[in-house]
């Protein structure tokens, strides 16, 4: 059974940093696509970034470039280091994962990929105050 569990959310002030973690169990990280999405109040769930573990390639949404970094470790954990946070980053952050690579997963088209991910965590809340 595949399970994803996020942690690390919290409240920070503008300009601060947070590191989110997602523990993944149920499949190997040797060949998988892992991603972070977020749901900002009033908006649809949007992609933040992804990592293709087979190709060791990361992709980021424009809103995350130069501020957020995705990484993994050898214990099946996915991370999202978030720096220079702004109130616009407030929302629920979800990790997503899939060992398969259908059309859009890890392609950089986060919106199209959203429906292809079969496995999601429950989310962790990030609140950034001004």
| pLDDT band at residue 100 using 50, 70 and 90 as cut-offs | confident
Average pLDDT rounded to a whole number, residues 80-103 = 94
Nearest to 120 by CA among 13, 28, 9, 35: 35
Q: Check residue 45 and give its pLDDT.
A: 96
Q: Which are the contacts of 56, defined by CB distance < 8 A and separation ≥ 6?
A: none
């Amino acid at each position: 059974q595949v399970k994803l569990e996020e942690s690390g959310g919290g409240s920070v002030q503008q300009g601060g940093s947070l590191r989110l973690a997602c523990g993944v169990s149920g499949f190997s990280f040797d060949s998988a696509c892992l991603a972070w999405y977020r749901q900002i109040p009033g908006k649809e769930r949007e992609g933040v970034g992804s990592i293709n573990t087979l190709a060791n390639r990361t992709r980021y949404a424009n809103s995350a470039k130069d501020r957020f970094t995705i990484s993994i470790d050898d214990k099946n954990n996915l991370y999202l280091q978030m720096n220079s946070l702004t109130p616009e980053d407030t929302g629920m952050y979800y990790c997503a994962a899939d060992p398969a690579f259908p059309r859009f997963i890890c392609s950089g088209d986060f919106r199209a990929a959203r429906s292809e991910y079969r496995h999601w965590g429950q989310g962790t809340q990030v609140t950034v105050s001004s």
